[in-house]
Amino acid sequence: MTQLFKSITRSVVPQSLRRSLLARWRGDRYHPPVGAVRFGDVRRLKPLSDFFGCDRGQPIDRYYIDRFVAAHAGDIAGRTLEIGDDVYTLQFGGARVTHSDVLHVEAGNPKATIVADLTQADHIPSNTFDCVLLLQTLQLIYDARSAIGTVLRILKPGGVVLATFPGITHIPRSDPKEGWADSWHWSFTATSARRMFGELFPKDNVRIEAFGNVLTATSFLQGLSAAELTPAEFDFRDRDYDMLIGVRAQKPLTAS
């Protein structure tokens, strides 16, 4: 059968492609030699989309964020706090939420019920929230450790923070209207997230998840949308490519 495959492909496809097809036929991993890599649409100096792929569909990082929040939807209950808006509270909390607050750092956001800087938010009462949704926020806060400390303080005993933040990412400096150009301070790894949260929350109460692989990271940097990848491609996790980090951290029921 292999000989037949060789004879059929020899006259109709280039040599480099024949090698790739034959390797796949055998179940081997094919690595094209230097000079034979086909870049196709991604051989470009600017990405296909320069704003996370929003103009092409659901951004790739949002696929992972949705998955992470959905996996911990049971934590979104009681009195909740979300940053910027209440989209994930409504989508994943539903009837379990008894009171929903939205925090924004500046006045003027019509959805905000609390205006505060998480690094210095003494006016937010301690032991207030059952769940804090801190999604895609920490990269915008220079003093991230103080922000996490505030979240710990305002959580009720036993309360949970669900946080996500970028690892490998595009930084949207070219879009000043979003207000991120001068405030995008950090990208993280699973290691830095574990240490950062573990210094404030009990280490046994911190769960870290890292999402991504070389394909999803490259696609995200190019601005492709989630619809352009398959579930199997999303499901593969490679610890060498932290594209998005998710954290579930729980406040102790009693003071240590």
E strands in the chain: 78-83, 97-104, 114-115, 129-135, 155-166, 206-211, 244-250
Is the Cβ–Cβ distance between 99 and 156 less than 8 Å? no
Residues 46 and 126 reside in one and the same domain: yes
Are both 218 and 139 inside the same structural domain? yes
**Domains in the chain, number:** 2
pLDDT at 16: 60
Structural domain contains residue 201: yes
Q: Is 179 a member of any domain?
A: yes
Domain contains 157: yes
Separation between Cα atoms, residue 34 and residue 13, nearest integer Å: 19
Domain extent, residue 7, equals: 1-38
pLDDT of residue 148 exceeding 90, the answer is yes
Give yes or no: residues 72 and 160 share one domain.
yes
| pLDDT, tens digit (0-9, with 9 covering 90-100), for 66-119 | 999 999 999 999 999 999 999 999 999 999 999 999 999 999 999 999 999 999
d(CA 62, CA 68): 10
For residue 124, the domain's CATH number is 3.40.50.150
Pair 105, 220 in one domain: yes
Q: Give the pLDDT confidence score for residue 130 in this predicted structure.
A: 98
Residue 256 lies in a domain: no
Which range has the worst mean pLDDT, 15-19, 93-97, 101-105, 244-248? 15-19
166 and 142 part of one domain: yes
**Cβ–Cβ under 8 Å, residues 226 and 57:** yes
| 26 and 85 co-located in one domain | no
pLDDT per residue as tens digits for the range 190-205: 999 999 999 999 999 9
Please indicate, yes or no, if residue 255 is contained in any of the structural domains. Answer: no
Q: What is the DSSP string of 149-182?
A: HHHHHHEEEEEEEEEEEESS----TT-GGGT-TT
DSSP string, 41-80: GG-SSS-S-SSTTTTTSSBHHHHHHHHHHHHTGGG--EEE
Same domain for 169 and 100? yes
- Determine the Cα–Cα distance for residues 173 and 46; give it in Å rounded to an integer: 14
Would you say residue 141 lies in a domain? Answer: yes
Residues 6 or more apart in contact with residue 170 via CB below 8 angstroms: 47, 50, 52, 220, 221, 223
Alpha carbon distance 132, 161 (integer Å) = 5
Res 254: pLDDT: 82
Determine if the pTM surpasses 0.75. Answer: yes
Task: Say if residue 155 is in the same domain as residue 129.
Answer: yes
Residues 98 and 192 in one domain: yes
Contact 191, 240 (CB under 8 A): no
* Cα torsion 169, 174, 179, 181: sign: positive
Please tell me the predicted confidence (pLDDT) of residue 5: 47
**Looking at this protein, which amino acid is placed at residue 73?**
A
One domain, residues 25 and 82: no
Q: Are both 25 and 76 inside the same structural domain?
A: no
Does residue 224 sit within a domain? yes
Q: Which residues does residue 246 pair with via DSSP β-bridges, in sequence order?
A: 164, 209
Residues 130, 20: one domain? no
pLDDT digits (tens, 9 = 90+) for 210-235: 999 999 999 999 999 999 999 999 99
